[in-house]
């Protein structure tokens, strides 16, 4: 896995953890750290997490394609 894909995966996991905290505790860590959810830096971080999710989604599909290609076909005799 390339460095960009690893970084995107790490950012996606951090974003998922943030959403978990929002869902459980109603507390947005990014908004708290940046003084509000609508501040430019917070919006940049949300966009960065979203783009990382898209990159990670591409990695997932390429992984599925690789695993599907390597499955041997068994014949019944």
Question: Roughly how many angstroms between the first and final C-alpha of the chain, as a whole number?
Answer: 39
Q: What is the pLDDT of residues 12-64, one digit of tens each?
A: 999 999 999 999 999 999 999 999 999 999 999 999 999 999 999 988 887 77
Residues 8/55, Cβ–Cβ less than 8 Å = yes
Looking at residue 68, its pLDDT comes to 61
Looking at residue 62, its pLDDT comes to 78
Query: Quick one: average pLDDT of 70-77?
Result: 63
Q: pTM here?
A: 0.75
Q: List the Cα angle 35/25/20 in 5-degree steps.
A: 90
Going by pLDDT thresholds of 50, 70 and 90, the confidence category of residue 67 is low
Looking at residue 75, its pLDDT comes to 66
């Amino acid at each position: 896995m390339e460095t960009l894909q690893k970084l995107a995966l790490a950012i996606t996991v951090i974003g998922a953890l943030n959403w978990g905290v929002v869902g459980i505790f109603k507390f947005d860590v990014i908004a708290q750290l940046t003084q509000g959810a609508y501040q430019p830096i917070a919006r940049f971080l949300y966009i960065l997490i979203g783009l990382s999710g898209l990159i990670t989604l591409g990695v997932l599909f390429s992984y599925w394609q690789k695993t599907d290609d390597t499955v041997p076909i068994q014949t019944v005799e």
